Amino acid sequence: MTDLNTLTLADARDALRRGDTTSKDLTEACLRAIDGAGALNAFVHHTPEIALERAAEADKRIAAGDAPDMCGLPIGIKDLFCTEGVPSQAASRILEGFLPQYESTITAQLKSAGAVMLGKLNMDEFAMGSSNETSVYGNAVNPWRRSGEDTQLTPGGSSGGSASAVAADLCLAATGTDTGGSIRQPAAFTGIVGIKPTYGRCSRWGVVAFASSLDQAGPMTKTVRDSAIMLGAMCGHDPRDSTSANLPVPDFEAALTGDIRGKKIGIPREYRMDGMPADIEKLWDDGAAMLRDAGAEIVDITLPHTKYALPAYYVIAPAEASSNLARYDGVRFGHRARLDHGDGITEMYEKTRAEGFGAEVQRRVMVGTYVLSAGFYDAYYNRARKVRTLIKKDFEDVFAQGVDAILTPATPSAAFGLGEMSDADPVQMYLNDVFTVTVNMAGLPGIAVPTGLDKQGLPLGLQLIGRPWEEADLLSSAYALEQAAGFVAKPGKWW
Ligand code: GLN
């Protein structure tokens, strides 16, 4: 029998229902895989006792015939989600020692559906980054390597631990969050599937806030079907999040027909960037051809404000972050600096925040407070908000012309080497988000699907962007792309 930790959610669910395996066996297989994968630095807080306890409960529910889809399935949780009594640090020193007394809505929903939490996953500090290198735990490592090389590569960020763990079969799936691309970029870098739902689909309650008007959680999985299954358990209305939508949750899995005949798929001209690697250009053209062969109509579209999205994002996201992070002051949460005799409250704030936040977080707080300051508010923050409206309108216009989904590359390159960007201008790192931030700015759903390998044997992904609230339709188009691409490659085990 295949190693249980390598199963998809769908296959493991079906095996559990047939009585071919138990949640205990699945969970133990994952715990063994995690123990053997320290080199990936994907799991940063291990919760084997909780996992085995939940597996035992799940096995009882399955035996009693009361098993929702996620029941008994072992998953990892990004460190950004508050989990009761379990460290939830957002990969920051400032939350050292913080043990939440409550459970985020999403992890509570997964728990009540019977999912088994294996532990917490590495990420960029406060989800700020694209390489997992801003983490207080040190970077997670991509299980993939360039052929014939042993250079350690980034799994992407900020949900780098989630991506690495799913790609290396340490868990069957994981939660991620995406403010500007943090589900889709790491999914593309590791050959897995990741969907950012429409803003408001998943509750943000209990998820440590980065930029509240952009943050959305979503599943990171081995297949599109698995994303459909897990998203169903994660979303739904939550009165504790005022931006959570009160809409029914469709049966995403049942909608996976993969029938895209007659659908209009737009190819946005502005996403063809100068200097884009030939491999990515080809991947994109091949993806369009696959969708055309499956019966879709491929149309050229224009999203004219695309080039302003990244600069506007890097005003809005830091502005909101500077406000959200004001609560970490050494009084209420986690770390507090050691004070010198005579220090007052101002010194306590200053020393705690200087010690507790890493360089990237400090940069964002400074940029954020600057663009919100009285003299610059109109020039930067208000202007960025206007740009955001124009970006949203670009998408609305295209959807009004009958376009059902938009196909783009997920990332401008394959996974890069760890440390490769550390001396570069921070803007180089920000460029990773060029194809993904537009989707957050417009609040739309977007999914990354692995569709090929580059010349060096690394996975590459394409992104499909859908109409708001139409994740079911988007997943079905992604399923068609996945079927046509037939991506089955796995990283060679070196860890
Ligand atoms: N890489 C982007 C940033 O650093 C996006 C991060 C995210 O989506 N959380 O802001």
Give residue 173's pLDDT.
99
The first and second tokens of residue 495, run together, are: 């860890």
Residue 378's φ and ψ, nearest 5 degrees, are: -70, -40
Residue 275 pLDDT grade (very low, low, confident, very high; cuts 50, 70, 90): confident
Ranges of each domain in the chain:
1-495
Name every protein residue with a CB atom under 6 angstroms from any ligand 1 atom: 127-130, 158, 178-182, 210, 317, 433
- Token pair 């406060």 in the structure block, residue: 126
Does 104 qualify as catalytic in the annotation?
no
Residues 320-339, mean pLDDT to the nearest whole number: 95
Residues 225-233, mean pLDDT to the nearest whole number: 98
| Residue 112: partners with Cβ closer than 8 Å, 6 or more residues away | none
Does 373 qualify as catalytic in the annotation?
no
Residues 84-89, mean pLDDT to the nearest whole number: 98
Give residue 163's pLDDT.
98
Q: Distance (Å, rounded) from C-alpha 247 to C-alpha 236?
A: 7
Q: What is the Å distance from ligand 1's center to 215 Cα? A: 9
Does 212 qualify as catalytic in the annotation?
no
Q: Is the pLDDT of residue 483 over 90?
A: yes
Q: Is the pLDDT of residue 288 over 60?
A: yes
Give the least confident one: 126-140, 206-220, 273-287, 299-313. 273-287
Ligand 1: which atom is nearest the Cα of residue 128?
4
> pLDDT (tens digit, 9 = 90+) per residue, 398-409?
999 999 999 999
Ligand 1: which atom is nearest the Cα of residue 437?
5
b (16+ CB within 10 A) / e for 239-271: eebeebbeeeebebbebbebebeebbbbbbebb
Residue 1 pLDDT grade (very low, low, confident, very high; cuts 50, 70, 90): low
Residues 325-354, mean pLDDT to the nearest whole number: 95
Q: What is the Å distance from ligand 1's center to 129 Cα? A: 5
Residue 40 pLDDT grade (very low, low, confident, very high; cuts 50, 70, 90): very high
Q: What is the Å distance from ligand 1's center to 58 Cα? A: 35
| Residue pair 79/107 in contact by the 8 Å Cβ criterion | no
How long, in residues, is the chain?
495
Name the amino acid, one letter, at 150.
Answer: D
Q: What is the mean pLDDT of the chain?
A: 97
Q: What is the Å distance from ligand 1's center to 295 Cα? A: 35
Q: Residue 384: name the closest of 370, 366, 396 by CA.
A: 370
Pocket test residue of 179, 310, 325, 429 for ligand 1, highest count of atoms within 8 A of CB:
179
Residues 456-464, mean pLDDT to the nearest whole number: 98
Give residue 426's pLDDT.
84
Q: Is the pLDDT of residue 478 over 70?
A: yes
Residue 431 pLDDT grade (very low, low, confident, very high; cuts 50, 70, 90): confident
pTM (2 decimals)?
Answer: 0.98
Pick the residue whose CA is nearest to atom 10 on ligand 1.
Answer: 128
b (16+ CB within 10 A) / e for 371-393: bbeeeeeeebbebbeebbeebbe
Instruction: Assign 3-class secondary structure to 198-223.
Output: CCCCCCCCCECCCCCCCCEEEEEECC
Q: What is the Å distance from ligand 1's center to 211 Cα? A: 10
Catalytic-labelled residue, pool 88, 135, 162, 182: 182
Q: Is the pLDDT of residue 243 over 90?
A: yes
Pocket test residue of 79, 92, 124, 216 for ligand 1, highest count of atoms within 8 A of CB:
124
Give residue 39's pLDDT.
98
Residues 414-428, mean pLDDT to the nearest whole number: 88
> pLDDT (tens digit, 9 = 90+) per residue, 165-222?
999 999 999 999 999 999 999 999 999 999 999 999 999 999 999 999 999 999 999 9
Q: Is the pLDDT of residue 2 over 80?
A: no
Ligand 1: which atom is nearest the Cα of residue 179?
8
Question: What share of the chain has pLDDT > 70, as a percent?
Answer: 100
Give residue 425's pLDDT.
82
Catalytic-labelled residue, pool 23, 78, 196, 263: 78
Ligand 1: which atom is nearest the Cα of residue 127?
9
- Token pair 């985020």 in the structure block, residue: 104
Q: Given CATH 3.90.1300.10, say whether it is the number of domain 1-495.
A: yes
Question: What share of the chain has pLDDT > 90, as a percent?
Answer: 95
Q: What is the Å distance from ligand 1's center to 178 Cα? A: 7
Give residue 274's pLDDT.
83
Give residue 183's pLDDT.
98
Ligand 1: which atom is nearest the Cα of residue 440?
8
Catalytic-labelled residue, pool 92, 130, 135, 158: 158
